[in-house]
Amino acid sequence: MIYLDNAATSWPKPEIVYTTMDEFLRTKGGNPSRGSHSLALAARETVEETRRLIARFINAPESKRVIFTLNCTDALNLGLKGLLKPGDHVITDSIGHNSLVRPLKKLESQGVRVTRIPPSPETGVLSVKDIEAAITKDTRLLVVTHASNVTGVIQPVEDYGAIVRRHQVLFMVDAAQTAGKYPIDVEASNIDLLAFSGHKGLFGPPGTGVLYISDHAELDSIREGGTGSYSEQEEQPVNLPDRFESGTLNSVGIAGLGAGLKFILGEGLDKIMTHEQSLTNRLIDGLGKISGVTVYAARNRAQQAPVVSFNIKEYTPGDVGTILDQAFDTKVRTGLHCSPAMHKTLGTFPQGTVRISLSYLNIAEDIEMTLQAVERISVSRDFSNSGRSMR
């Protein structure tokens, strides 16, 4: 089997993630921050160790600014809804995932004003000038997608961070497709809110995500409840991370996320990037040589995350995905990938694309076999009569 749907969730996980989670549940399964018996303390130490590792990984000044969430969607909701009030103005891109688009739509219906900036049709990158021109006296936040989950184009967040800081606008980044795959330094890039999944590039299990909050961003909680702290008071505590972590945490998931991060630190991000870039380059070059195939990717390979879309002439993306799965045991994602706006920009709406997304655990042979499969589909009439249409 060849798994190429790592942008949705990475699989398989490194062995250490499985063993750590198994061991955690068997030996440390207390409720972190609830009680002072040894199992609760062991669970808490594991959670805090992961928090420290993440803080170090993104260069956060304090680990308490790392908030555990359910996934990247949850982190985006917390950042946006915790910050924005009616009358605020937000600047965003027009390539975002629905987990960014939909909370913003909701906030728009409540009186937040949103300006959406399209990327350059040639490079897929947002222009710093367009962003700066959109800033008004009411602009509270710039929120961008670090890498598109359709084309893999990486945006230059350091450049955007420099601009918004000059204008005293807060800066939020959706790093769902880059965390664990590309260096992110929240201090150097002036990022105030960084949202990412734990279950994609960081190799944690599903049900894990993170929001980093800088000391410039004053957020309200959007969910209140027990935190295991200040139990005598009825109001939500204001200290971090408790303010934003009500209810029992996904401690076993956070243990797995910590193990995923240790794996990444052990291998080294440079080695991971080099391997993924080499596979991605081979994939883009190979797809580009197959007749009838259109590739959607970054023009500049230095701005390419390991996510690539394509279509094959005369086939719907759904048909290609089904054939790859059933005839070649190869798992890809097809359709809109929850990013309709990106497809409108690419001209692939409403059918979408076939998406291949890689992980460090993919090997060169996965790419060669997939290229052969795509080539066979593109030249064969047999498959085009499959009559399936899935989206």
Ligand X SMILES: Cc1ncc(COP(=O)(O)O)c(C=O)c1O
Where do contacts with ligand X occur on this chain (CB under 6 A)?
7-8, 71-73, 97, 99, 145, 149, 174, 176-177, 197, 209
Tokens of 345: 């920009």
State the nearest-atom distance from the C-beta of 381 to ligand X, in Å. 34
**Of the listed 90, 91, 336, 338, which one is catalytic?**
338
State the nearest-atom distance from the C-beta of 347 to ligand X, in Å. 20
State the nearest-atom distance from the C-beta of 59 to ligand X, in Å. 21
**C-alpha atoms less than 13 angstroms from C-alpha of 370 in its C-beta half-sphere:** 32
Nearer to ligand X, 228 or 253 (CB): 253
State the nearest-atom distance from the C-beta of 34 to ligand X, in Å. 26
Degrees, nearest 5: CA angle 99-260-73? 10
- The DSSP call for residue 349 is T
Told to judge if 72 belongs to the known catalytic residues of this protein, a careful annotator would answer: no
Q: Is residue 261 a contact partner of residue 20, using CB atoms and an 8 Å limit?
A: no
Residue with tokens 């934003």: 244
Q: How far apart are CA 72 and CA 322, in angstroms?
A: 28
Residue with tokens 């399936």: 388
State the nearest-atom distance from the C-beta of 344 to ligand X, in Å. 16
Give residues with Cβ within 8 angstroms of 89, minimum separation 6. 112, 113, 114, 115, 136, 138, 139, 140
Helices and strands per DSSP (H, E), number in the chain = 12, 13
Tokens of 168: 């005293």
Q: Is 11 exposed, middle or buried (0-12, 13-18, 19+ CB in 10 A)?
A: middle
- The DSSP call for residue 306 is S
Nearer to ligand X, 199 or 275 (CB): 199
Q: How far apart are CA 126 and CA 118, in angstroms?
A: 7
Nearer to ligand X, 178 or 227 (CB): 178
Nearer to ligand X, 71 or 362 (CB): 71
**Known catalytic residues?**
338
